[in-house]
Amino acid sequence: MRRLLAAIVFLAMVWPAAAPAADMDAETIARRVGQVFAGYDDFWVWVLQRFKKADGEETVIDGRAYFKRPNKFRLNFGQPPFLIEGTDGREYWVYDRDKNTITYEGLDDRPAVHPLLIVFAAGDQMVKALDKYFDVDALEETELAVVEKKLPAYKLVISLKPEALEEMREKAGNKLAATGKQTWTFWVDKADFLPRKIQVDFATGDRYTFELGRRLGEEHAGKLYRFYDNRGLDDRNFTRPSPPGVKAEKLDSHQD
């Protein structure tokens, strides 16, 4: 399911790079988020990822997401990592410790990238994407609860248009399964216009949630870690590794 989700997002969502201070409608919030990300040459942030199936079964993992402009990305899950996704801007690769493999494919082939890569990439077409791919279902001022803390936030709810899904399915060579309605909810921190929580709901009842700046463990309860920006991240962090004894396998385009 994550691979399907990421493929859809890769074809649909990019973020903007500029915005004036204006009334907070969906377009303005999207522009402000892009403006903030565009101000970072690179950064890293803790990520708490939840996947909850319709039957109630839930998987929760945490890790670190790294990004370097324009589109270098790495996400380590676990310590030591048991799953790593990354790109050097030319190819997208995934290391799976349990399978003892590294799979990779060209980024130009539109592989199933992790959704956070698209959120971080801060392009210039989010407003166009809202018009073409999404319906704005709700926009409200709210609070984002972080255990005992409550942060003032904007809550933006959008849903993928059925005709947009059909178009993307055609571009992917009909490799995408039908998923019905897909709803995205963003909680954007009013203080810095960074998305602190992103939730994706499927018509099947499955749900993904990404909390940026959160970690697992009692010692981290109630803490919201910041984005560690402009750190001078080394390009070698994003290059596909070649550890001894791990099989590297090139995937066909649009392979699930």
> What is the chain's Cα-based Rg?
18
Where b means 16+ CB within 10 Å and e means fewer, 139-165 reads eeeeebebeeeebebbbbbbbbbeebb
Q: Closest Cα partner for 188 from 105, 132, 126?
A: 126
Bridging pattern class, strands 207-212 and 195-202: antiparallel
Q: Which helix (H) or strand (E) holds 60?
A: strand 58-68
Confirm whether 256 is domain-assigned. Answer: no
Which residues, in sequence order, are bridge partners of residue 44?
66, 228
C-alpha to C-alpha distance for 184 and 199, rounded to whole angstroms: 6
Say how many domains are in the chain: 1
Confirm whether 196 is domain-assigned. Answer: yes
Confirm whether 23 is domain-assigned. Answer: yes
Confirm whether 166 is domain-assigned. Answer: yes
Confirm whether 7 is domain-assigned. Answer: yes
Query: Residue 227 gets which letter from DSSP?
Result: P
Confirm whether 255 is domain-assigned. Answer: no
Count of C-beta atoms within a 10 Å radius of residue 233 = 18
CATH code of residue 84: 2.50.20.10
Domain that holds residue 224: 2-250
Per-residue pLDDT of the chain (256 residues; tens, 9 = 90+): 444 444 444 434 433 333 333 468 888 888 888 788 888 889 999 999 999 999 999 999 999 999 998 889 999 999 889 999 999 999 999 999 999 999 999 988 878 888 888 788 755 456 666 777 788 889 999 998 876 778 899 999 988 787 777 776 665 554 444 556 788 899 999 999 999 999 989 888 999 999 999 999 989 988 889 999 999 999 999 999 988 889 899 987 554 4
Confirm whether 229 is domain-assigned. Answer: yes
